C-alpha cells in the first residue's frame, strides 16, 4: 500500500509543502512548523503519518499556509469544522437525513440543490 | 421554480432550457422632489437585501407567515424600482423571455386594476423582459408613470388604500411567466451561442409593514409586448409576495444592520 493510502493527510501536506519549498525556502519543515506553532519534529511525524494528531486550530493554520481549502484538510484528517458541527447539532435529524440522501448524488446535482421561495396564501 | 440567491430572486425553468432564467432584484433610490423634472432613476444606491419570511417567522406578523415569500428593508419615504435581467451568461444570443406582472397592495402597478394572475390583452398589464429591463414605478391616477414610494400601511396614503379603501396587503407582488417553449424555439431559430439574435439586440447591462404610494413622475416607458399574450406559458407561472419591512425594524428581525437611510428630499412618514 502506498503511503498516501495509509496517510492521506500527511502525504498530502508534505507534497504541497515541498512543492512550495522548491521556489520559496520559507516552506521548509522548520519554518512552516514555527508559523503554525508546533515543533518541527512534530510536523515531521504528522507528514510521515506517525501518531501525531493536529488540533483543528493547527489544521486551519496549515490550510492558510499551504493555500488549501480548510474543509478539505479537515476532512483528510477525519474531522469536520466546528461551524459545520454546530449547523448539524442545531437540527441533527434533518441534516443527518439530508446528508444520507445526498451521498450518492453526483457533484453537479448536489450543486443544483436549491431552496425554493415558499408561496403561501394571498 | 423560484429561488432566492443573494440579493436577487430567480425565476427558473431548467426543464424548458438551461438558460430559461429571469433574475429580479429591487433597487432603492431617493424620492425626487415633486417639482423636479422627470428623469431616469439611477441605481447608485444599490440592491436591497432580501430574506426568506420562513427564516424569521417567529418575529414576523402572522399575515406574513401565511403569505410566505420574502421581505426587504425600506425606510418610509424611500423609493424603489424593480430590476429584470434575463440569463445571458456566456453571451447567449437569445435569452429566454419572460412576461412579468407586478403589483402593490394587490393593485397592478401598470394598470391600477385589481391583481390577477392572467395576462391582459389591450391595456397591457405586464412587462416583457427582454426588452424591458425594469419596472420603474407605479401608474399614477393621472395615467403617468410615477416613482413608488414606501409609506406605512394604514397611513391612508398607499395606492392600495386610495384605490381600494382599505390596507389589507401592502408589499409588492410579482408573477413571472416564461415564454412557451414552442414560441421560443421558433423565435430563436438560427441563433447560436456567440452570435447575436433578434431579441438580444438593444440589451444593455444595467445593469413593521409598508405599502407604496405615488411619487413624482418618472421618464420611462413600459414597452409593448412584441410577442403577444398567447406567447406566454400560463402553466409555468411562479409568483412571490415581497413584504416591505420598515428598515428601522430590520435589525430586530434579522439581527443584521439595515442599509443606511438615503439622504433625500422626499423622506416622510417618520
Q: B98-104 and B127-129: which strand pairing?
A: antiparallel
State the Cα–Cα distance between residues B50 and A48, nearest whole angstrom: 49
State the Cα–Cα distance between residues A36 and B110, nearest whole angstrom: 62
Chain B contact for A113 (CB, 8 A cutoff): no
| Residue B261 pLDDT level (bands cut at 50, 70, 90) | confident
pLDDT tens digit sequence for B125-152 = 999 999 999 999 999 988 889 999 999 9
Buried b (16+ CB within 10 A) or exposed e, B44-74: ebebbbbbbbbebeeebeebbbebbbbbbbb
Q: Are A95 and A102 spatial neighbours (Cβ–Cβ below 8 Å)?
A: no
B39 vs B220, higher pLDDT = B220
What distance in Å separates residue B240's CA from the closest CA in chain A?
A: 6
- Compute how many other C-beta atoms are within 10 angstroms of the C-beta atom of residue A43: 24
> What pLDDT was estimated at residue B255?
93
For B67, the closest of A114, A116, A120 (CB atoms) is: A120
Strand partners, B107: B104, B114
Chain B contact for A114 (CB, 8 A cutoff): yes
DSSP A122: -
> What pLDDT was estimated at residue B36?
60
Q: Mind spelling out the 3-state secondary structure of B107-131?
A: EECCCCCECCCCCCCCCCCCEEECC
Nearest to B158 by CA among B60, B221, B76, B241: B76
For chain A, give the mean pLDDT. Answer: 88
Which residues in chain B are contacts of A118 at CB distance < 8 A? 52-54, 68-69
Chain B contact for A106 (CB, 8 A cutoff): no
> What pLDDT was estimated at residue B264?
55
Which residues in chain A are contacts of B1 at CB distance < 8 A? 114, 116
Which residues in chain B are contacts of A114 at CB distance < 8 A? 1, 3, 5
Average pLDDT over residues B31-49: 66
Chain B contact for A103 (CB, 8 A cutoff): no
pLDDT tens digit sequence for B103-116 = 999 999 999 999 99
Average pLDDT over residues A84-91: 90
- CA angle at residue B252 from B250 to B255, to 5 degrees? 80
Q: In B, what residues contact A, Cβ < 8 A?
A: 1-5, 9, 52-54, 65-70, 106, 169, 173, 238-241
| Residue B45 pLDDT level (bands cut at 50, 70, 90) | low
| Residue B267 pLDDT level (bands cut at 50, 70, 90) | very low
Burial class (CB in 10 A: 0-12, 13-18, 19+), B117: exposed
> What pLDDT was estimated at residue B192?
47
State the Cα–Cα distance between residues B259 and B46, nearest whole angstrom: 10
**Predicted ipTM beyond 0.90:** no
Q: Are B82 and B137 spatial neighbours (Cβ–Cβ below 8 Å)?
A: no
What domains are defined for chain A? 3-76 (1.10.260.40)
State the Cα–Cα distance between residues A47 and A41, nearest whole angstrom: 10
Average pLDDT over residues B62-89: 91
For B69, the closest of A114, A115, A120 (CB atoms) is: A120
Buried b (16+ CB within 10 A) or exposed e, B119-148: beeeebbbbbbbbbbbbbbbbbeeeebbbb
Amino acid at each position: 500500500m502506498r503511503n498516501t493510502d495509509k496517510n492521506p493527510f500527511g502525504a498530502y501536506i508534505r507534497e504541497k509543502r515541498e512543492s512550495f519549498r522548491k521556489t520559496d525556502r520559507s516552506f521548509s519543515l522548520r519554518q512552516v512548523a514555527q508559523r503554525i506553532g508546533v515543533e518541527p519534529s512534530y510536523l515531521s511525524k504528522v507528514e510521515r503519518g506517525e501518531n501525531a494528531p493536529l488540533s483543528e486550530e493547527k489544521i486551519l493554520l496549515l490550510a492558510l499556509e499551504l493555500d488549501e481549502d480548510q474543509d478539505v484538510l479537515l476532512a483528510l484528517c477525519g474531522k469536520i469544522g466546528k461551524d459545520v458541527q454546530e449547523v448539524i447539532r442545531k437540527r441533527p435529524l434533518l441534516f443527518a437525513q439530508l446528508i444520507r440522501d445526498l451521498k450518492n448524488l453526483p457533484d453537479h446535482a448536489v450543486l443544483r440543490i436549491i431552496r425554493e421561495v415558499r408561496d403561501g396564501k394571498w | 421554480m423560484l429561488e432566492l440567491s443573494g440579493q436577487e430572486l430567480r425565476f427558473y425553468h431548467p426543464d424548458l432550457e438551461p438558460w430559461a432564467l429571469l433574475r429580479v432584484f429591487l433597487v432603492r433610490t431617493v424620492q425626487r422632489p415633486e417639482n423636479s423634472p422627470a428623469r431616469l432613476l439611477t441605481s447608485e444606491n444599490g440592491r436591497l437585501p432580501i430574506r426568506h419570511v420562513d427564516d424569521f417567522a417567529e418575529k414576523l406578523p402572522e399575515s406574513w407567515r401565511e403569505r410566505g415569500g420574502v421581505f426587504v428593508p425600506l425606510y418610509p419615504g424611500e423609493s424603489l424600482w424593480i430590476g429584470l435581467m434575463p440569463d445571458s451568461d456566456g453571451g447567449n444570443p437569445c435569452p429566454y423571455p419572460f412576461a412579468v406582472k407586478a403589483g402593490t397592495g394587490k393593485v397592478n402597478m401598470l394598470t391600477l386594476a385589481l391583481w390577477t394572475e392572467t395576462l391582459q390583452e389591450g391595456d397591457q398589464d405586464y412587462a416583457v423582459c427582454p426588452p424591458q429591463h425594469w419596472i420603474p414605478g407605479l401608474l399614477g391616477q393621472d395615467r403617468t408613470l410615477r416613482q413608488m414610494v414606501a409609506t406605512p400601511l394604514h397611513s391612508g396614503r398607499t395606492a392600495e388604500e386610495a384605490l381600494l379603501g382599505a390596507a389589507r396587503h401592502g408589499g409588492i407582488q410579482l408573477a413571472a411567466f416564461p415564454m412557451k417553449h414552442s414560441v421560443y424555439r421558433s423565435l430563436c431559430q438560427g441563433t447560436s451561442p456567440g452570435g447575436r439574435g433578434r431579441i438580444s439586440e438593444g440589451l444593455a447591462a444595467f445593469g413593521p409593514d409598508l405599502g407604496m404610494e405615488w411619487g413624482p413622475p418618472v421618464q420611462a416607458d413600459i414597452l409593448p409586448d412584441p410577442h403577444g399574450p398567447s406567447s406566454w406559458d400560463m402553466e409555468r407561472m411562479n409568483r412571490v409576495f415581497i413584504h416591505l419591512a420598515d428598515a428601522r425594524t430590520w435589525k430586530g428581525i434579522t439581527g443584521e444592520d439595515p442599509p443606511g437611510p438615503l439622504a433625500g428630499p422626499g423622506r416622510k412618514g417618520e
